[in-house]
Structure 1
Amino acid sequence: MIASYQELFETGKIKTEHLLIGNGFSIGLWKDFNYSSLYENQRETLDYKDRRLFEELHTTNFEYVLENIKRALSINKIFSYETDELIVSYERIKRALINGVVNVHPNNFDIQLNNGIDTNYTFSIFTNSIFTTNYDLIPYWLHVKLHNQHRTINDFFRRNGLYYLNFTPKKNDDSLNLYYLHGGLHLFVNEENVIEKVRKNGHEFLIDAVTESMEQNNIPLYVSEGKWEDKLEQIQSNKYLRFCYNSLRDISGHLTIYGHDLNESADKHIVDAIINSNVDVIAYGIYDLDRKEATSERIRSYFPDKEIYFFNSMTFDKSVKYISHPLAWGEPRNW
């Protein structure tokens, strides 16, 4: 029997200080963010050889394909084989991934109708930090929701002119801090190498402003490399991503991990940051209960010096609602 998140909270095993979310969080709200949907959306835009790669690898996982191309590039260099076509394919598949996310992305009205952003209290219960490796705008919408409820939340972007917000690495100890570890659709680096955040600018929905920004050749800031070493290299080359990564490494106390596989080949940089942090206690959500023993053994092997508890991921949303509104979702907690 695996505990619910509510049980871990009520027994004092986990404090709601820091949260790390992965793609499972967003897929839970909008199923089309899964790789199969993204691949089907972009399949016809890919080159024939690109599609063959997905087919031969028996996957729709863009990052897994990119990882294999990088491996092929390394082998080709050893034997002095031509690599230009592989490099072009790599960049084409990377761009297809972000285009797929944009194309399947709902506007916040769609999300509200289908899953109720207004009744999602995930960000509300955490006191210190939210870290996300997702590119989509769901964390942004939850950020706006908290802001509208007069909760102080800081994503480190400040107004600079009419159209964009600029990255300003100034922390506020009294606020909940939001970090996009792998970038996001609404973030980009301009021609002056300034990291900016897209605003709605008269559009009804932010996703429309993002699309317009991309049409103006503003490529979103996102990390989609397959291998963790390549992800870390890209993170270290960008001051915003580096700031977010270092902030994960600098946290202490209790960390909840939800919707994140922490795959050893793709996410070891995230694991390493947590290992090197002063986190004492981790609550890790397991989705596939048929593999709970194997998953718990793998996660424990990552963090032998930390206290780890596991919870059923399927209980997380209901648990969060109870923690936020304990009296039958009556009055919210005071912070």
Structure 2
Amino acid sequence: MSFASEVLTYQDALATLGDRRKHVLLGNGFSIACDPVFKYGRLYDAAVSAGLSPRAQNVFDYLGTSNFEGVMRLLDDAHWVAETYELVRGRSQMLDDVDIVKKTLVDAIANSHLEHTGKVPDEKKAAALEFLSPYYNVFTTNYDLLVYWVNMHRREGPIWGDGFREDEDEPDSLYVVFSERLGGQRGMFYLHGALHLYTAGGELRKHTWKRTGTPLTHLIKAGLANKEYPMFVAEGSAKKKLEQIQRNGYLWYALDKLARIEGPLVVFGLSLGDSDSHITQALADNVNMPAILVGLHGDPKSAVNQAIHASVAKMMARRQDLVKRRHRGKTLEVVYYDSATAKAWG
């Protein structure tokens, strides 16, 4: 069998799973399939293009990550320390750079994201909802708002819960808070955070349109002005990503949820590269996950798709070694499909 002929259509690949409970893992390819604007997939790169200062870029380099939240908080804290020790008086260059980072982040959001859900035609949201509906849990590495918009598009109410509820202490608040784990309920999990999630008052909050009547992108920008920085793990090494995830209760919960699924997993729009090795290792180590369907975009022999094959081969070898050593679990069944045939957005 040739390399190319091993790639099935999406429907044929899905049929190999039968009626087993299945889950989906989305990458940036899902967003790009909606609109080319999401090719600005990395906020840091978009921010550099939007004018992020070289001095601020050095702070990102020092942290070894492109975590906007971490950089802004580091600069805020550094200014506080310097002011406390009377090393500066009044406004410092650090606060100037906080403003620069905020401005470029807002610019990046404006340039990388559709302004509101109405910018995605209803028929496309309906098609995406149909694409995602067979899956019990939806996991996404994307920080954009698309899966949220799709989930909210259903007239009868969202299919997937996310664990956010009204604040018991502030029931009339304009936000909701992460307050419960979903257990066996269908769920939507943001593995790397999302632009509409932020930490304040010692809790993880979520911006909502329902309570405010204001588009989420506007709430995000207003939140930045109030130091309510979006919670997300942007591009960086897998080690740095995992460190950030381990320091955040929600992110660790979401990754752990992925690491414990018992049904097959469909991967759409994710390259499974070295920067996501924290995910591939979690999947390989989950000996109860029997199969994975991996989408390939374009020429199956392209360098990107060959790299995906190599990454999957490592996952299979890791799983096989683990099953052999533990004397339990399942070897990993792998099926490749042509992601273009999935028609995720119609």
**TM class, shorter-chain normalised?**
0.7 to 0.9
The answer as to whether partners of 2:64 and 2:240 remain within 8 angstroms in 1 is no
Query: Do residues 100 (structure 1) and 108 (structure 2) align?
Result: yes
* Superimposed CA distance per residue, residues 91-136 of structure 1 (whole angstroms, 9 cap, x where no aligned partner): 97798467513543111111127x721232222121x211101110
Does residue 281 of the first structure (1) align with residue 295 of the second (2)? no
Deviations 1:131-187 (CA, angstroms, capped at 9, x unpaired): 1011100011112124x33464210101122211111232242x3211001000110
In the alignment, which residue of structure 2 is the partner of 1:58?
Answer: none
1:3 corresponds to:
8
- Partner Cα separation in structure 2 for residue 181 and residue 94 of structure 1: 23
Amino acid in structure 2 at the alignment position of 1:268: S
Q: Which amino acid is 1:271 matched to?
A: T
Give the counterpart letter for 1:117 in structure 2: K
Which residue in the other structure is 1:222 paired with?
232
> Residues 43-62 of structure 1 correspond to what in structure 2 (within 5 A)?
43-48=49-54
Contact 2:163 2:180 in 1 (8 A): yes
- Residue 19 (structure 1) aligns with: 24
**Following the alignment from structure 1 to structure 2, what is the Cα–Cα distance between the partners of residues 253 and 50?**
44
Structure 2: distance between partners of 1:302 and 1:212: 42
1:135-154 → structure 2 map (5 Å cutoff): 135-146=143-154, 148-150=155-157, 152-154=159-161
Tell me, which stretches of 5 or more residues in structure 2 are unaligned? 66-77, 79-92, 318-330
Q: Which residue of 2 aligns with 1:118?
A: 126
Of the three residues 310, 314, 330, the one matched with 2:336 is 310
Do 1:19 and 1:131's aligned partners in 2 also have CA atoms closer than 8 Å? yes
CA distance, structure 1, for counterparts of residue 131 and residue 188 of structure 2: 13
Answer whether contact 1:41 1:104 (CA < 8 A) is retained. Answer: no
Which residue, 22, 35, 42 being the options, matches 2:40?
35
Query: Following TM superposition, by how much is the alpha carbon of 1:269 offset from its aligned partner in structure 2, in angstroms?
Result: 0.6
Cα distance, 1:66–1:7 mapped onto 2, change above 3 Å: farther
Determine if contact 1:158/1:168 at 8 Å carries over to the other structure: yes
Letter of the structure 1 residue corresponding to residue 149 of structure 2: W
**Structure 2: distance between partners of 1:159 and 1:213:** 18
Closer, same or farther in 2 for the Cα pair 1:182/1:98, shift >3 Å?
farther
**RMSD of the alignment, in Å?**
3.3
Aligned to 2:64, what secondary structure does the other structure show?
helix
Q: Distance in 2 between matches of 1:102 and 1:236?
A: 30
What residue number does 1:330 align with? none
Alpha-carbon deviations, 1:290-313, whole Å to 9, x = none?
324553243122223311000011
Where 2:8 maps in the other structure, the secondary structure is coil
Shift, 1:50, TM fit = 7.0
Counterpart Cα distance in 1 of 2:48 and 2:143: 17
User: 1:37 and 1:167, CA in 2 relative to 1: closer, same or farther beyond 3 A?
Assistant: closer
3-state SS in 2 of match to 1:135: coil
Work out whether residues 163 and 198 of structure 1, in 8 Å CA contact, stay in contact via their aligned partners in 2.
yes
Compared with structure 1, are the counterparts of its residues 30 and 16 closer, same or farther at alpha carbon in structure 2 (3 Å cutoff)?
farther
Query: Which residue of 112, 124, 142 corresponds with 1:134?
Result: 142
CA distance in 2, matches of 1:156, 1:36: 26
TM-aligned CA deviation for residue 211 of structure 1: 2.0
Q: Distance in 2 between matches of 1:169 and 1:36?
A: 30
Alignment equivalent of 2:176, drawn from 130, 152, 165:
165
The separation in 2 between residues aligned to 1:297 and 1:286, in whole angstroms, is 13
Task: Report what 1:81 is aligned to.
Answer: none
The TM-score with structure 2 as length reference comes to 0.73
Cα distance in 1 between the residues matched to 2:19 and 2:343: 16
CA gap 1:151/1:141 in 2 versus in 1, 3 angstroms: closer
Structure 1: give runs of 5+ residues left out of the alignment: 54-64, 72-83, 322-335
Matched residue type, 1:45: G
Q: Number of matched residues?
A: 288
Mark the structure with the bigger radius of gyration.
Answer: 2
